[in-house]
Amino acid sequence: MIEVPAPANPFGQPARRIEQLLQFVPQGPRGNRVKISGTVTCRRDDETLFIENEKEGLLVETRQPGPLLPGDIVEVLGFPAKGEYTPKLEDAVFRKIASGQVPVPENVTTDEALKGTHDCRLVRIEATILDRTRYGHEQFLVLQSGGFIFNAYLEHKDGGLNFSYLQNGSRVAVTGVCVIDPGNDWQVGPEWRAKSFRLLMRYPGDIFLLMRPPWWNLQKMLWAVGILVVGVLLALAWVAILRRRVQKQTATIRRQLQTEATLKERYEDLFENANDMVFTHDLKGRITSVNTTGEHWLGRGRDEIISKNLIQFIAQEQREAVAQWLEQIAANVELAPAEWDFLGAAGQRLRLEISARLVGQPGKNNEIESVARDITERKRLEREILQISNREQRRIGHDLHDGVCQQLAAIAYRVDILADQLHEKKFPESSEAERIGSLLNEAMSQTRSVARGLFPVRLEEEGLVSALEEVVINAAKLFKVRCHFSCVEPHPKPETTAALHLYYIAQEAVLNAAKHGNATEISVAITRHHERFMLIVQDNGNGFEVAGRNLSGMGIRIMRYRAQVIGATLDLKSRPGQGTQVICTFYAAT
């Protein structure tokens, strides 16, 4: 080692070049100070100074204050020592000689920087930003170039810029002093490379943005792939859920179909094997379906029944009424079960009670469903019961007329004789006997009226019109009301059974008007409408609301039944305070 004595004024000695310093690095205790001249490339934290000449760079550690700028030419006096890779000066002092131009950095690659030839020199490297961070009073960039990752540091001062404006993935050119980290396997040879290096930037201007990161980058691609994967997973999960729901719904639908099929079979079985005639028809009466019972009752095959109008199977005299009934059903009017006479293939009559209702199905025309029950036998029994009742009623009337009335007449006659005898003897009881006789005569008169009602002799002898005149006269006397009768010419002459039922219908209507309607005037009339006659009983009584009243009373039910027995129809009209009108429409010969 060459020792260089330190003169009293060291700066008076000629300055050595930086490459000459490599020959004076002490290997043991600190040696003599040396003087180096060069151009300032970087000044950091007032303790570190980097200078270089045309070939070499040098790290100078100094505590001397004073501003220095890149490009200043200085002389430095200090103790040579080992640096991380190249020598450095410790405890140095400097003197500014002149101001020069800012040194131009040398463009290098990472491989060239790792060779160590650019240690402590100002270099410029193009790289891609991987990350930005800050540590203490420094901030640094994590850069990548040529497949090698290194850091670039910038001293952060108050008010200085930070790296927030830079984006990861940007392409930049970074200028700074290259500092080599040789590692532990240094060896001589062109193949050797340092472990790593770092750049010490001087100011924010040492970062030059070459190209912003592309919009579509790895991060976004990863995000897109992640979102796509999540979407696919969600889609698969949703497909699995939908599949499970579809399977569940399919099982439910299959069960419903099986249930519906079972119900359909049961319905068809009930429809075909029902004891009643079940059929459907459109609003005009054209039959659309009928069960086996209907085929049997009508004596015709299903092909002969379907598409035929219902009226064609009804007795001739009832067809007009059936047409009106169909119109009411089609208008969705709620009606009581109707009774009609159906004609079989052989012309035999079959009395059927029909319950019908209007049904509507989405996308289909409305239809009328009907259930017909054979009431022929029931009607026969009812007629027999009614005939027995009429017979017993006539018998009771006959007994009252010929028995009780005769007895009352005899008693009244004996009381009159007794009253005369008491009067001749001037007994005061004679007046009481006279009153008893008057009461007996009145009871006898009422009994005769009841007997005539129970046993309408004039009906059999003189006909319906005469019997109705008697009803009106008796009602006027019995209930003390104005009552009158009128009849069209020529008078109807219904057969005996029909006349008897019409008589009782009129009698029941007059009785209801007088006793329950509190009427003061009652009119009974027989009018004619085309080929049919109408028996009309009108009163001015209290009346009632037909729609809100239970019309299932015994009197009204009996009147309706009597009308049905003779093939007539009974209609009841009433309004509160406007009286009541009973109309019985029937066929009769004139």
Tell me: pLDDT of 176 over 90. Answer: yes
Residue 262 pLDDT class (50, 70, 90 cuts): confident
**pLDDT tens digits, one per residue of 225-240:** 999 999 999 999 999 9
* 73 shares its domain with 151: no
* 95 shares its domain with 172: no
Domain that holds residue 532: 463-590
Give the DSSP H or E segment for 231: helix 218-273
Q: Is residue 89 in a domain?
A: yes
**pLDDT tens digits, one per residue of 359-376:** 876 667 788 888 888 887
Tell me: pLDDT of 157 over 70. Answer: no
List the CATH number of the domain containing 535.
Answer: 3.30.565.10
Ordered DSSP codes for 471-500: HHHHHHHHH--EEEEEE-SSPPB--HHHHH
Q: Is residue 243 in a domain?
A: no
* 408 shares its domain with 350: no
pLDDT at 239 (0 to 100) = 92
Mean pLDDT of 422-448: 78
Residues of the chain with pLDDT > 90, as a percent, come to 25
Backbone angles phi, psi at 307, to 5 degrees: 80, -5
Collapsed DSSP state (helix, strand, coil) of residue 275: coil
Last residue of a domain, one of 316, 343, 373: 373
Rounded to an integer, what distance in angstroms lies between the CA atom of residue 78 and that of residue 93?
6
Tally of structural domains, the chain = 5
* 540 shares its domain with 437: no
* 472 shares its domain with 575: yes
List the CATH number of the domain containing 19.
Answer: 2.40.50.140
* 419 shares its domain with 481: no
Rounded to an integer, what distance in angstroms lies between the CA atom of residue 335 and that of residue 357?
9
pLDDT at 128 (0 to 100) = 93
What is the helix, strand, coil percentage profile of the chain, to 5? 40, 30, 30
Q: Which two tokens stand for residue 574?
A: 């009433």
Q: Cα–Cα–Cα angle for 24, 27, 31, nearest 5°?
A: 55
Closest C-alpha among 82, 71, 61, 79 to residue 122: 71
Q: Is residue 561 in a domain?
A: yes
Q: Cα–Cα–Cα angle for 332, 336, 337, nearest 5°?
A: 105
* 93 shares its domain with 149: no
Last residue of a domain, one of 66, 99, 132: 99
Radius of gyration of the chain (CA): 66
Q: Are 99 and 65 in contact (CB under 8 A)?
A: no
Backbone angles phi, psi at 347, to 5 degrees: 90, 0
Q: Are 86 and 152 in contact (CB under 8 A)?
A: no
* 396 shares its domain with 427: yes
Closest C-alpha among 408, 410, 438, 432 to residue 419: 432
**pLDDT tens digits, one per residue of 181-203:** 988 887 777 888 899 999 999 88
Dihedral sign for Cα 211, 215, 220, 225, please.
negative
Weakest-pLDDT range from 126-130, 501-505, 586-590 = 586-590
* 412 shares its domain with 443: yes
Q: Are 553 and 581 in contact (CB under 8 A)?
A: no
Collapsed DSSP state (helix, strand, coil) of residue 75: strand
* 486 shares its domain with 582: yes
HSE-up (13 A, CA, CB side) for residue 568: 27
Rounded to an integer, what distance in angstroms lies between the CA atom of residue 165 and that of residue 163?
5
Closest C-alpha among 369, 309, 358, 367 to residue 331: 358
pLDDT at 178 (0 to 100) = 95
Last residue of a domain, one of 211, 244, 263: 211
Tell me: pLDDT of 548 over 60. Answer: no
Please state, as a whole number, how many other Cβ atoms lie within 10 Å of the Cβ of residue 58. 28
Average pLDDT, the chain: 82
* 362 shares its domain with 420: no
Tell me: pLDDT of 537 over 50. Answer: yes
User: In angstroms, what CA-CA distances link 211 with 4, 129, 170, 330, 538?
Assistant: 52, 11, 6, 86, 111
* 125 shares its domain with 63: no
Weakest-pLDDT range from 77-81, 336-340, 515-519 = 336-340
List the CATH number of the domain containing 363.
Answer: 3.30.450.20
Tell me: pLDDT of 31 over 80. Answer: no
Residue 545 buriedness (CB in 10 A; 0-12 / 13-18 / 19+): exposed
